[in-house]
Amino acid sequence: LNVASMFDFKQPTRDLARLCAREGFDDPVARILSETGRLSRHPVFNVGVFAGREKLGEASGPSLNEARIRAAVRALKGWYLYSPLDVRVPSETEGPNAKPWKPVLVDIGEVIV
């Protein structure tokens, strides 16, 4: 099951702004990182979404608006699809010298629909 395909954000820039406000981050700002062919038939814009100095997401697109939306979607997917690297499962608590199990908290959670 590809979990990333289940995310369909209707207004990703608004959702990202709400997420940043909820988590106490600075407001997200889209900045052009690079561009090529602005006056050609097939321009490519590379846009990054930043909260303060922290880059949340980056994406390319044929227009500034499309690149900005794609970068916001990548930032949201990066937040919600994050998986910690060092995870212990409850079955590892069984045994004589096992440490007690402590759940891993990724996001205290609020679903934005």
Residue 30 pLDDT = 97
* 8 A C-beta contact, residue 36 and residue 60: no
Give the max Cα distance, the chain.
69
The mean pLDDT value for 37-62 works out to 96
Q: Could you read off the pLDDT of 61-104 as tens digits, one per residue?
A: 999 999 999 999 999 999 888 766 667 777 777 878 887 777 76
Residue 102 pLDDT = 73
Residue 108 pLDDT = 60
* Host H or E run for residue 72: helix 64-80
Q: Could you read off the pLDDT of 11-29 as tens digits, one per residue?
A: 999 999 999 999 899 999 9
Residue 82 pLDDT = 76
